[in-house]
Amino acid sequence: MKKLFVSIFLVFTTLCAFAQSNDYAPQMAKSSIQNKNAKYLIFPTKNINVFLKLDTSTGEIWMIHIALGKGFPIAIKFPESEYPLILDEEKENGRFMLYPTQNIYNFLLIDQIDGRVWQAQWSFDSENTGIVRIY
């Protein structure tokens, strides 16, 4: 009986030790300050100096780079090759949302009304920054 108890205890503690964390849950869920239906939302990245600003009605994204020194902070709008994502008459606050991925530079941008999804990639190199439709 003692061996069975010890075995179950070891299995349980091993499972707990290897349980997945929720680090990649939507960043919105971690902040109670932001209003999900606001026109603009700020999303942290895994780089402590970079945030993404999202226009929730149009899907437009800006990379906000904060630092001390000459030329900072800066805001760089993602390239407009994919814009507009929707027509003017379809704009609605809260329509678009960003979700982090396991890749530090990539987020998923989703149109919460019709389900379309884009890959939003930020980079310090403007050639590697952009939005590409996935689905």
Residue range 79-128, pLDDT digits in tens: 866 667 888 899 999 999 999 999 999 999 999 999 999 999 998 887 88
pLDDT in tens, 20-62: 444 444 444 454 456 778 999 999 999 999 999 999 999 999 9
Return the pLDDT at 115: 93
Return the pLDDT at 28: 47
**What span, in angstroms and rounded, lies between the C-alpha atoms of 46 and 118?**
20
* pLDDT of 63 higher than 80: yes
Q: CB of 126 within 8 A of CB of 62?
A: no
Using alpha carbons, select from 123, 125, 120 the residue that is nearest to residue 133: 120
pTM of the model as a whole:
0.70
Residue-by-residue DSSP string for the chain? -HHHHHHHHHHHHHHHHTPPP-TTS-GGGG-SSS-TTSSEEEEE-SSTTEEEEEETTT--EEEEE--SSTT-SEEEEPPGGG--SS-GGG--TT-EEEEE-SSTTEEEEEETTT--EEEEE--SSGGG-EEEE--
